[in-house]
Every structure is written in structure tokens, then in C-alpha cells.
Amino acid sequence: MRKLLSLFLVLFSVMSSTQSAADKIVIAHRGASGYLPEHTLEAKAMAFAMGADYIEQDVVMTKDDHLIVLHDITLDRTTDVADQYPNRARDNGRYYAIDFTLEEIRGLNASEGFRLIDGERVQGYENRFPMGSSSFRVPTFEEEIQMIQGLNKSTGNDIGIYPEIKQPEFHREEGKDISTAVVNMLKDYSYTTKEDKVFLQTFSFAELEIIKSEILPAAAIDINLVQLIGGESSYAWMLEADGMSKLAEFADGIGPEKGLVIERSSTRGNLNITALVERAHAAGLQVHPYTYRLDPGQVPDYAEDFEDLLQQHYFEADVDGLFTDFPDRAVKFLQANQ
Ligand code: G3P
Ligand code: CA
């Protein structure tokens, strides 16, 4: 009886969603990062083969102004920089990508993310690809675009890219205009209109305003922009009743932390769906929350399992797409619900 009831609930929410499953998208978060080390070309190729609609790149800049694909502005969580350059950390003990040339970064070994516990390297997600196995590199943004566009050509697909400008204020303090460099790279690779398959994202509203009002016009292009929204108080105004309409002057979509869509205090059968998606849609904004993971402890208690979580967010909360480390599961889920 309970199974029948949940089946009915799934069917009802799919039918009452304003969008069909075919219109909803899967964004491969740092690639197929649940299976291969994040932001390696291997993880991106796997995400492509799994049928993701968009593949994410976090972008930071090197000392010699190259754009690389790396989540952190530091290299020490995902590479062996500390082994190869033990004397190049800043006073805080961290190894900043911006202090290294591309040639130096190309020589690093990339791996599954880890943290130091009592001097030991401990893998962040223990069920994922074994840290230190095989051989991976930190790619440039250009190499990754070329690979995705190359795969689009060889497979006949049209998979998009979803770059995030990482810590633009930090880059400016270091004398680097990363946003202009990213926009120029996008233009070089023919991402120039809102019809092209790119979303450019940032957590910084100040930077979003600069991109929209100065950098895109200077490059004479106009692409989709996404404002990321975290849980910090600096984002509080975006969650007020008029926050989405204010954002819509600059953005085409939002990327909220998923707890801003369905409250973490929700319980089984009693979801607290916030007003965020409804307000965003009313303002004409798409909603792509992050990050959906199926590692132990990563599925919130209000969901029975990962697919239940997808159903709740895609169809009950009605998001337009979502960032996941496991794009194959989201692709299969949407296919099964068409
Ligand atoms: O950009 C969406 C999501 O990736 C934001 O979180 O920290 O993984 O970049 P983060
Ligand atoms: Ca990101």
C-alpha cells in the first residue's frame, strides 16, 4: 500500500510540474566526479558519455595568466603540490594556483580530494576513486572546451559547458581580471548568444553586475548568467520577496544550495518547499541547485534514497536542472520519468 501511495505521489508530482522531464537538465558537477577525480578531463569525458546536458568547470588563473579548471584557488587538496614544491606555500600553509605557472601546474599529479588528519592524507569521499591511483592532470579551461566541442563533433551531440568564475575578488586583489579572460575565451570558442549552450556562474553578485554591464558589452556578446546562492547572510536579500526580480536584471538563472529549495528540517512525507523556485520562475529565472550526491551521509534524511531526492527536487520543488556528482543516475531518473 505504501509503495502504491509513493508511486501515486511520484506520478502526481511529475504531472503537476510545470516542465516535463524532457525539459529538465543534468549538470555534471566537476564532471562525473563521483567516479573519477574531480575536474580531470577523464571525469569530463565520462560525464559526456553518461549523457549529462552540461558539464561544469570551476575556473581559476595561474601566475602567468592561464585559465585552469580547479575547484579551489589552492592546489593542495587535489594535487601533490606539497610533495613537489614543499617551499612554495604561503604563510597560511596553502599553495595558491596563482603563485604557480601553467608549466609547473601541468607537472602536478591530480587526485581524488583529500584532507590531512594527523599528518595523514585521508580521502574526502572514501567510496570514490582511490586517491593516488593511476595518473591525472589539472586541465586548462581551453583544453576542456576543446575536448567537449570535439566530442560534440565526433558524437553529433550538443553538450553544454557551465563555467564558474572562482573568487573573482581574490583574483582582482592579485591583479588579475579573471572574468574578462573567461568571457574572451568563451567568445573565442563561439559561445556568444543566449542560444549557445553555456551558463556562466559566480557566487559574487558584485562580479555578476560587472560581467553583465561591462564585460559582456565590451566583448559584444550576451550569454546566460547564473547567480549562485549560498547559505551566508550576504545572500539574504536574494531570498526576500523581491529578491528574484532584482536578480533578473542581471541573471538568467540562479544556482542555490539545495537546502534553500527544500529545507533541511523537512521530514519524510512533510517537505518544506521554500518559495524560492516559484519566485524565481515568476521572475523568468531558471533554477539549478547544487549539489546532489549519493555518498554515505549525503542524501538528506527527508529522502528515502538518491532517486527519491531527485524526484522531490525535480518534480515536487520543480527545479529546472541540478548539479550532481553522479550524472548517470540523474540522466536515468529523468529518462524513466518521461
Ligand atoms: O557552481 C555550483 C556548485 O558547484 C557550487 O559549489 O563549491 O562545488 O563550486 P562548488
Ligand atoms: Ca562550482
DSSP letter for 233, please.
G
DSSP letter for 196, please.
S
DSSP string, 61-99: E-TTS-EEE-SSSBSTTTB-HHHH-TT---TTS--BGGG
pLDDT (mean) for 277-294 = 98
| The C-alpha cell that represents 307 in the structure block | 532517486
Answer yes or no: is pLDDT of 98 > 50.
yes
Scanning the chain, the segments in alpha helix (DSSP H) are: 2-16, 41-50, 81-84, 102-106, 141-155, 168-173, 178-188, 205-210, 216-219, 243-247, 276-282, 306-311, 327-336
Q: Over the stretch 83-95, which tens digit does the pLDDT of each residue have?
A: 999 999 999 999 9
Answer yes or no: is pLDDT of 10 > 90.
no
Q: How far is CA 62 from CA 59, 85, 176, in A?
A: 10, 15, 10
Residue nearest to atom 3 of ligand 1 (CA): 290
DSSP letter for 138, please.
P
What confidence category does residue 6 fall into, taking pLDDT thresholds of 50, 70 and 90? very low
Mutate to test the pocket of ligand 1, among 323, 324, 325 (most ligand atoms within 8 A of CB): 323
157: Cβ contacts below 8 Å, ≥ 6 apart? 48, 151
307 alpha-carbon distance from chain centroid: 19
255: Cβ contacts below 8 Å, ≥ 6 apart? 201, 226, 227, 228, 229, 288, 289, 290, 323
> CA gyration radius for the chain?
20
DSSP string, 21-51: GGG-EEEETTTTTTTS-TT-HHHHHHHHHHT
What confidence category does residue 4 fall into, taking pLDDT thresholds of 50, 70 and 90? very low
- The residue assigned the cell 531558471 is 286
Dist. CA 86 → ligand 2 center (Å): 28
Residue 222's SS3 state is coil
Answer yes or no: is pLDDT of 15 > 80.
no
323 lines ligand 1 (CB under 6 A): yes
Q: Any idea what the Cα angle at residue 157 is, between residues 153 and 163, rounded to 5°?
A: 90
Lowest mean pLDDT among 19-28, 139-148, 209-218: 19-28
The pLDDT, as a whole number, for residue 146 is 99
The pLDDT, as a whole number, for residue 279 is 98
Task: State how far the Cα of 76 lies from the Cα of 96, in Å rounded to an integer.
Answer: 8
Residue 273's SS3 state is strand
Dist. CA 165 → ligand 2 center (Å): 8
Rounded percentage of the chain residues whose pLDDT exceeds 70: 94
What confidence category does residue 153 fall into, taking pLDDT thresholds of 50, 70 and 90? very high
Task: State how far the Cα of 145 lies from the Cα of 45, in Å rounded to an integer.
Answer: 11
The pLDDT, as a whole number, for residue 20 is 79
Answer yes or no: is pLDDT of 11 > 90.
no
The pLDDT, as a whole number, for residue 181 is 98
pTM: 0.95
pLDDT (mean) for 315-324 = 98
Topology of the domain comprising 24-73+138-336:
TIM Barrel (3.20.20)
* Mean pLDDT of all residues belonging to the chain: 95
Residues with CB under 5 A from ligand 2 (ion): 58, 164
pLDDT (mean) for 96-105 = 98
324 lines ligand 1 (CB under 6 A): no
Task: State how far the Cα of 82 lies from the Cα of 116, in Å rounded to an integer.
Answer: 12
pLDDT (mean) for 42-71 = 99
The pLDDT, as a whole number, for residue 2 is 43
Residue nearest to atom 6 of ligand 1 (CA): 290
What confidence category does residue 277 fall into, taking pLDDT thresholds of 50, 70 and 90? very high
Answer yes or no: is pLDDT of 306 > 50.
yes
The pLDDT, as a whole number, for residue 17 is 55
In ligand 1, the atom with minimum distance to the C-alpha of 29 is 4
Task: State how far the Cα of 325 lies from the Cα of 38, in Å rounded to an integer.
Answer: 9
228 lines ligand 1 (CB under 6 A): yes
What confidence category does residue 164 fall into, taking pLDDT thresholds of 50, 70 and 90? very high
292 lines ligand 1 (CB under 6 A): no
72 lines ligand 1 (CB under 6 A): no
Dist. CA 30 → ligand 2 center (Å): 7
Rounded percentage of the chain residues whose pLDDT exceeds 90: 93
Q: Cα(first)–Cα(last) distance of the chain, in Å?
A: 24
What confidence category does residue 22 fall into, taking pLDDT thresholds of 50, 70 and 90? confident
